C-alpha cells in the first residue's frame, strides 16, 4: 500500500524509533552484563532508561512503550544471571515502569507539540507564499516601512515603478523615492505625527510626486495604512503610477481645449455679429446727426438751435452705444465665486501633477520648494489650480528648444501677509516687444495660442486680492509670480 507523503513520514519515524529503542536497550544490556562482577544486583534497570528517553523523544508513545518493555525484560534477564528473582526485583521493575511511563508521556507530549509546530509553520509558510504571490502580482506598488522610515518590504511592482531592486531598497530610508523638498522633510513628518498624532496622509488617498532611481519625477496616487506590532509601528504604502492615466487625461483635455477653442471662435463670431447689430443703429444715427451738423455749419447763417439739438441727439446715441457695451460686459463677466480656506501647497501639488505630464520625455528637471510658514489661503481651489496649471504649462512649452531645461516652483512669504508663488523656467524669456502687453487679451507668442490664458489668470488673481507679474530669470528665462492673501487659522478660529 502506497501511503501519502504526510502519512509516510510519521510511519518512517516510528520504525526508526523502534530501531533506536532496540539498539540502545541492547547496548544497555551488554553494558550491564559487562559490569555484573562489579555491580552484582545493584542498579539493574538504570541502564535501560536511555533507551526509553531516546525512543520516546524521537517517535513518541509506542516506541517509548516498546523501549520500556525491552528495559523490563532486559533488567529481569540481567538480574536472573546473578540469582533468582525476589520481591525486591519486582518492586524495582515496577518503579522502573512508573518512571518510564512519565518519560514516555513527556516524549509523546513533545512529539505532539512538534507536529503541531510543524503544521503551524507549514500553514504559515503556505500563507506567506500566497501573500507574497499576491504582492508580486499586484499592479500597484507596495512598500512597508518601520517607525524610522526604513523600508522593510519592496514589491515587484515597486521595483518596476521606481527602478530600485528590492535587495538595494530594503534597509534604506523611503525618502529616496521622493524629490526635494519632501526627501529632506520626510523624517520630520514622521516625528510630527508621533508627537501630535495628527494624520495628514495616513488613511487618505492623495496625489503626490515620486522620484525614480534615474531622477525622473512622476505623479502618483499614495494611500498609507498603519499597523502596530510587537516590534513597533509599521506603515504600508500603496502606490499607483498616474503617468499613463494623466497622459490620457491630458490628451482628452487637449481635445477638449481644441473643442473649447472652436466654440470660443464661434461664440466670438456670434458675439461680434450681435455687437455689430446692436451698435449699428446708434452709430448710424450718430453719423447722420454729425453729417447734418456739418452741413448746417457750412451754411452762411446756421440754425444754432437745430445744431445744438442734433449734437445733443448724437450724444444720446453715443450713450446708447456705451450702454450696449456695458450690458455686454455684464453678460460675460463672472460673479463672485465660492472661496474657502485651502492649502496652497496642496493646490500646487495637484495642479503640477497634471501640468507636468510629458515633462519627463522633454528631459525637464523639476524642483519644488515650500516654505512651511506659508500655506493656508482663502481661495477658489479650482481657479487657483487653473492659474498654476497655466503658468507651468507655459514654462514647459517655453523650454521646448532649449538645451538647459530647468523648472522651479516655489512658495515663499510675500509682503504684508501675502503668499508668493513663483514659476521659473530657463526658456528664451519674454520678448520686450510684448512684455508690457503680456497680460492683455489676445496677446500671445504661441502659434496655436489664443492669448487669453494669462489674461484670465490675471483676472482670477486680482479677484482674489493679489497681483501677477513676470520678470527675467537670473541666467536666462522667465519667472512668473503671483500673490495671494494668507489666512491665520488661529485668528479665524477666535474671530
Q: What is the pLDDT of residues 401-435, one digit of tens each?
A: 767 888 999 999 988 889 999 999 988 888 777 77
Domain of residue 363: give its range: 340-494
Among 282, 311, 332, residue at a domain's last position: 332
Would you state the pLDDT for residue 326?
66
Say which CATH number the domain at 368 has. 3.30.565.10
> pLDDT tens digits for 465-481?
899 999 988 888 899 99
Is 56 found in the same domain as 27? yes
- Which of 10-24, 348-362, 421-435 is predicted most confidently? 421-435
Would you state the pLDDT for residue 259?
56
Among 109, 135, 161, residue at a domain's last position: 135
pLDDT over threshold 60, residue 304: yes
Secondary structure letter of residue 45 according to DSSP: G
Can you read off the three cell numbers belonging to residue 238? Answer: 500603496
Among 332, 357, 374, residue at a domain's last position: 332
pLDDT over threshold 70, residue 187: yes
Rounded to whole angstroms, how far apart are CA atoms 258 and 262?
Answer: 6
- Is residue 42 very low, low, confident or very high in pLDDT (cuts 50, 70, 90)? low
H or E element that contains 308 = helix 304-332
Query: What's the whole-number average pLDDT of the chain?
Result: 77
Is 142 found in the same domain as 131? no
Can you read off the three cell numbers belonging to residue 192? Answer: 510630527
Is 224 found in the same domain as 104? no
pLDDT over threshold 90, residue 215: no
Around 490, how many Cα atoms within 13 Å sit in the side-chain half-sphere? 0
Is 308 found in the same domain as 194? no
Is 460 found in the same domain as 374? yes
Short-list 273, 421, 266, 443, CA closest to 352: 421
Of 100 and 453, the one with more pLDDT: 100
Is 490 found in the same domain as 344? yes
Is 345 found in the same domain as 301? no
Residue 376, CA distances (Å) to 11, 345, 418, 465, 467 in order:
73, 8, 10, 15, 18
Can you read off the three cell numbers belonging to residue 326? Answer: 456695458
ω into residue 181 within 30 of 0, thus cis?
A: yes
To the nearest 10°, the Cα dihedral for 309, 313, 319, 324?
170
Q: In total, how many domains does the chain have?
A: 4
This prediction's pTM: 0.43
Q: What is the mean pLDDT of residues 188-213?
A: 79
Around 10, how many Cα atoms within 13 Å sit in the side-chain half-sphere? 13
Rounded to whole angstroms, how far apart are CA atoms 455 and 459?
Answer: 6
Check the CA dihedral 173-176-178-183 and report its sign: positive
Is 196 found in the same domain as 231? yes
Q: What is the mean pLDDT of residues 116-131?
A: 81
Rounded to whole angstroms, how far apart are CA atoms 445 and 429?
Answer: 11
- Is residue 84 very low, low, confident or very high in pLDDT (cuts 50, 70, 90)? low
Would you state the pLDDT for residue 491?
47
Would you state the pLDDT for residue 425?
92
Would you state the pLDDT for residue 306?
80
Is 54 found in the same domain as 19? yes
- Is residue 169 very low, low, confident or very high in pLDDT (cuts 50, 70, 90)? very high
Rounded to whole angstroms, how far apart are CA atoms 426 and 404?
Answer: 7
Amino acid at each position: 500500500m502506497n501511503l501519502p507523503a504526510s502519512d509516510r513520514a510519521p510511519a518512517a519515524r516510528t520504525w526508526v524509533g523502534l530501531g533506536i529503542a532496540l539498539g540502545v536497550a541492547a547496548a544497555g544490556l551488554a553494558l550491564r552484563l559487562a559490569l555484573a562482577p562489579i555491580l552484582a544486583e545493584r542498579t539493574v534497570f538504570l541502564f535501560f532508561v536511555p533507551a526509553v528517553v531516546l525512543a520516546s523523544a524521537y517517535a513518541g508513545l509506542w516506541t517509548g512503550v516498546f523501549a520500556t518493555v525491552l528495559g523490563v525484560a532486559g533488567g529481569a534477564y540481567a538480574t536472573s544471571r546473578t540469582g533468582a528473582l525476589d520481591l525486591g526485583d519486582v518492586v524495582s521493575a515496577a518503579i522502573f515502569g512508573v518512571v518510564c511511563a512519565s518519560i514516555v508521556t513527556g516524549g509523546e507530549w513533545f512529539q505532539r507539540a512538534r507536529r503541531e509546530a510543524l503544521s503551524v509553520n507549514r500553514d504559515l509558510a503556505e500563507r506567506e507564499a500566497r501573500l507574497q504571490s499576491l504582492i508580486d502580482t499586484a499592479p500597484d506598488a507596495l512598500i512597508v516601512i518601520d517607525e524610522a522610515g526604513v523600508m522593510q518590504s519592496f514589491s515587484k511592482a515597486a521595483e518596476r515603478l521606481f527602478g530600485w531592486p528590492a535587495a538595494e531598497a530594503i534597509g534604506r530610508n523611503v525618502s529616496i523615492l521622493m524629490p526635494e523638498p519632501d526627501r529632506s522633510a520626510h523624517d520630520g513628518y514622521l516625528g510630527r505625527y508621533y508627537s501630535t498624532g495628527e494624520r495628514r496622509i495616513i488613511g487618505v488617498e492623495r496625489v503626490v510626486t515620486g522620484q525614480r532611481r534615474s531622477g525622473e519625477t512622476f505623479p502618483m496616487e499614495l494611500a498609507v495604512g498603519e499597523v502596530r506590532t510587537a516590534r513597533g509601528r509599521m506603515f504600508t504604502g500603496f502606490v499607483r503610477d498616474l503617468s499613463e492615466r494623466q497622459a490620457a487625461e491630458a490628451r482628452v483635455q487637449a481635445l477638449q481645449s481644441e473643442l473649447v477653442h472652436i466654440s470660443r471662435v464661434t461664440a466670438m463670431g456670434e458675439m461680434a455679429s450681435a455687437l455689430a447689430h446692436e451698435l449699428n443703429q446708434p452709430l448710424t444715427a450718430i453719423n447722420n446727426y454729425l453729417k447734418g451738423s456739418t452741413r448746417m455749419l457750412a451754411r452762411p447763417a446756421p440754425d444754432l438751435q437745430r445744431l445744438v439739438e442734433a449734437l445733443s441727439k448724437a450724444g444720446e446715441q453715443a450713450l446708447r452705444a456705451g450702454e450696449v457695451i456695458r450690458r455686454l460686459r455684464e453678460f460675460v463677466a463672472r460673479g463672485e465665486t465660492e472661496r474657502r480656506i485651502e492649502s496652497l501647497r496642496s493646490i500646487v501639488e495637484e495642479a503640477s501633477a497634471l501640468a507636468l505630464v510629458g515633462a519627463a520625455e522633454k528631459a525637464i528637471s523639476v524642483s519644488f520648494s515650500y516654505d512651511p510658514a506659508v500655506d493656508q489661503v482663502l481661495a477658489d481651489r479650482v481657479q487657483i489650480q487653473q492659474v498654476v496649471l497655466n503658468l507651468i504649462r507655459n514654462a514647459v512649452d517655453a523650454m521646448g528648444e532649449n538645451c538647459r531645461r530647468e523648472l522651479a516652483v516655489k512658495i515663499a512669504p510675500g509682503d504684508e501677509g501675502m503668499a508668493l508663488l513663483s514659476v521659473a523656467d530657463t526658456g528664451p524669456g519674454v520678448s520686450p516687444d510684448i512684455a508690457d502687453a503680456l497680460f492683455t487679451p489676445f496677446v500671445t507668442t504661441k502659434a496655436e495660442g489664443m492669448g487669453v490664458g494669462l489674461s484670465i489668470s490675471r483676472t482670477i488673481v486680482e479677484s482674489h486680492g493679489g497681483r501677477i507679474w513676470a520678470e527675467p530669470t537670473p541666467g536666462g528665462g522667465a519667472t512668473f509670480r503671483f500673490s495671494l492673501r494668507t489666512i491665520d487659522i488661529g485668528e479665524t478660529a477666535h474671530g
